[in-house]
Amino acid sequence: MKQRVVCGVALIVTVIAMMFGCADKTPLPSDLPAPVYGGIDTNYVVVNPIWTEVNGRAMNRPNDVYVGYDQQIYICDTGNDRVLKLDVDGSFLEEYPVVHPVAISQDRGLDLLIVCGDYSRTEQVEDRDTVIWYGDSVFRKRFRGNAPFERVFQAQFPYAIVNGREVHAEYWSVAASNTPLKNYYLTDFWVGRVLGFNAFDFPTEEFLGDGVGLGLTRYPSDLYPYQIGGQDYIALAQAAGNIAVQIFSLPNWISPYMEGDTLPPMITFQARAYKDIAVDDQSNFYLLLDAPDPLLQGDYYFYKFDRRGETLLAFGELGSGERQFNSPQGICHFEGILYIADAGNNRIVRYQLTTETRQ
């Protein structure tokens, strides 16, 4: 999941040297699945048809795609102010109206959570044009009953003081906890922190803080919770250079790394760009960029890393072909299928391991 409609902002981020890491260290799990290198594990083919239209209407800048605990596919069709619900084969199930959804998650109670980032629009109020601010908000659709999405939180303005100026919040992603407690987390992009919310949609804690070292975050863009060996983890992607991805064990947000450790290449991946992340059940990491990679000097948008952070696969360039993207914004993985929200091309592209045939 990410506020994903602000284009190119990460390109202005200056490459920054790494600072000190966390003082606490948690041993990495020892029972991870063995990595698979080369051959079948690094070859993906496009699954047809590519999704460009759902329920009789063309998609308009889809900013996120997500497979929930209910094993249904959810798409934030941002420009059409709707969330789409599909079966895993792509069959349309439902659509829900919600203002400018940019990221989605589902908690253990099967409630859907949406964030609306930096967004306002002019509407008629008492026969007068009035600018209505919808941004910096969390919307919830409860599993029980047929109630629509309801706004349950909106940050106040001024929200924070950054470099001497008042700013509003800009939430880029939402991630529900793996626990039954129904708490969740938001990335606060400009302020540089992760916020924790309880089941009553009240902000309760602030995790990390603005900075460029381990245990800090600069321009956090996406969160992905996952579980290995019974331990809950969360992967954090950020737009600043030097530290692209950080991993923390939950619920205390403890980093497994500290100053002096040899960090996996995935973590030290130096690409200044918006990033979205996903993890599969083999502990492989998938990283999506919304910018050319300045180090590889090519338009690589998609990367696959093994559990040690080594690159298994990278592809993509600007365009609208099978392995081309235009402002890709969201990625998820489910049962060997990769789903990528290719916002600039108004489509969802699916990729599958070549050893499986599923059309």
Tell me the domains of the chain and their CATH numbers: 9-353 (2.120.10.30)
Neighbours of 30 (CB within 10 A): 6
**DSSP bridge partners of 123:** 130
Position 355 scores a pLDDT of 52
**Residue entry with tokens 């106040």:** 156
Q: What pLDDT is attached to residue 34?
A: 39
Residue 296 near residue 270, CB atoms below 8 Å: no
Q: How far is CA 122 from the centre of its chain?
A: 28
From CA 218, how far away is CA 211, in angstroms rounded?
5
Nearest to 333 by CA among 355, 352, 348, 346: 352
Q: Which token pair is 235?
A: 């992967």
Backbone angles phi, psi at 245, to 5 degrees: -135, 140
Give the model's pLDDT for residue 41: 52
Is 206:196 a contact under the CB 8 Å cutoff? yes
The pTM of this model reads: 0.84
What gap in Å lies between CA 3 and CA 135, rounded to an integer?
10
Q: Which helix (H) or strand (E) holds 92?
A: strand 92-97
Token pair 């619900």 in the structure block, residue: 85
Q: What is the DSSP letter of 29?
A: P
Rounded Cα distance between 202 and 73, Å, is 27
| CB of 68 closer than 8 Å to CB of 76 | no
What b/e readout covers 189-209, taking b as 16+ CB neighbours within 10 angstroms? bbbbbbbbbeeebeeeeebbe
Residue 107: Cβ within 10 Å count: 24
Which positions ≥6 away from 56 have C-beta within 8 Å? none
Which amino acid, residue 178? Answer: N
pLDDT tens digits along 283-300: 899 999 888 776 666 778
Q: Supply 141's token pair.
A: 């659709």
Question: Are 46 and 37 contacting, i.e. CB atoms less than 8 angstroms apart?
Answer: no
How buried is 336 (Cβ within 10 angstroms: 0-12 exposed, 13-18 middle, 19+ buried)?
middle
What pLDDT is stored for residue 211 in this prediction? 85
Low-confidence stretches of the chain (pLDDT < 50) are 2-40, 356-359
Q: Residue 131's pLDDT is what?
A: 80
Q: In sequence order, which residues have a C-beta less than 8 Å from that of residue 350 and are 6 or more positions away? A: 46, 47, 50, 51, 337, 338, 339, 340
